[in-house]
Structure 1
């Protein structure tokens, strides 16, 4: 159980390679979540009840099932119907889809917070629906959403170890591989925890800045 600094230095490059994959998965997953979240939010606001209720059911279903189950389904079950995805792509889609349902609620709350008079003013000036959304509604709705969306980004980063279950060589999987091959667990697992802590602390500092910058904006 003694700490071996030499061993820790030797495995650090391997863990940093895994950290790179972790960050890529987080960033790409966040991009998927941001886009799909907006799509879900708009569908739930549809005047068509079938569309709105279907979107609402889908959001609740995804939010109500564990991310790990969804990752297993995408990576291990979909190939049975002919849909095969690389491990990283499956992980990005799984995390992005899962967190899109949370982002959708943030989007919906931000959109509904825009004063009704803004919609009426847009109609009074003969703006198209597209112009209303892009020039009036979203510019007012998005800034207050930023802190909440950033918080979900941090949560997604901390859940990337789940990707090891579908063979993605992210940081935790690299640490397990090192530990299983050397039978030393203290150094790799500790370093993984330290790397996650450092990036989380940096992210929290950024999140606090975003909250000061945008959180109270109306």
Structure 2
């Protein structure tokens, strides 16, 4: 059995730092797509448009029921050559990675938004109708300001989950923490080794755990406000 080497553990951190910037970039961009698209999905489903509602429901269920890794491969090997083929390869990978994360998590955040919207008292909808407010003003001035704060903790949890799933993008040569460490030790006869993987795992833990604590505090604060 090979002896544990602390030097390999500490040598991994410069590569982790390079990949961390990419990991955070994809988390932020993916979250923006997921939050925006998820809200759009929720609003469309709330309107209950015939056919459109059924098709959107089927799409959401399909995405939620299939692995993210498979969706990444489909986007990269099927959609990318047909849609993004004229762009530089790095731009193609960026778009595929952000779309894969964003669309996947949008199908989850859509249900979160729907729960928040359904929690708005019916009297608020009735008041907006009585005042003859346009549909868009009803959403932007009455419903969403009450619904969004309720779902912030759940959105935060999905952002943390997305952060931990960015390494799946290393399968399409996205230079995240996992890819950086793996390629750094590719020429080493011992391979990447458990020391480097432990360093990666501790980095994810050091970043995601404080964020989860913050999300819990936000959840408690939202709950206290609702109780009042």
What band does the TM-score fall into relative to the shorter chain? over 0.9
Determine the structure 2 residue equivalent to 1:62: 63
Find the aligned partners of 1:52 and 1:216 in 2 and give their Cα distance.
34
Say which is worse superposed, 182-191 or 31-40, in terms of deviation. 182-191
**2:122 aligns with one of 93, 116, 119:** 116
Determine the structure 2 residue equivalent to 1:143: 149
Determine the structure 1 residue equivalent to 2:42: 41
CA contact (8 A) 1:71 1:90 kept: yes
**2:183 aligns with one of 174, 177, 188:** 177
Determine the structure 1 residue equivalent to 2:137: 131
Determine the structure 2 residue equivalent to 1:163: 169
Secondary structure of residue in 2 paired with 1:159:
helix
Gap regions ≥5 residues in structure 2: 86-90
Say which is worse superposed, 173-182 or 21-30, in terms of deviation. 173-182
Determine the structure 2 residue equivalent to 1:17: 18
CA contact (8 A) 2:84 2:92 kept: no
Question: Normalization by structure 2: what TM-score?
Answer: 0.90
CA deviation after TM superposition for structure 1 residue 216, in Å: 4.7
Say which is worse superposed, 132-141 or 86-95, in terms of deviation. 86-95
Find the aligned partners of 1:82 and 1:112 in 2 and give their Cα distance.
37
Say which is worse superposed, 37-46 or 9-18, in terms of deviation. 9-18
| Structure 1 residues 35-90: Cα deviation after superposition (integer angstroms, max 9, x where no partner) | 00011111112242111111111111111111101100111112442433521221
CA contact (8 A) 2:80 2:96 kept: no
Question: Normalization by structure 1: what TM-score?
Answer: 0.94
**1:201 aligns with one of 205, 209, 213:** 209
Equivalenced residues, count? 218
CA contact (8 A) 2:31 2:102 kept: yes
Gap regions ≥5 residues in structure 1: none
Say which is worse superposed, 174-183 or 162-171, in terms of deviation. 174-183
Find the aligned partners of 1:195 and 1:38 in 2 and give their Cα distance.
31
| Structure 1 residues 107-166: Cα deviation after superposition (integer angstroms, max 9, x where no partner) | 011101111110111111222111111111001111110111111111111111111111
Say which is worse superposed, 174-183 or 187-196, in terms of deviation. 174-183
Q: CA RMSD in A?
A: 1.6
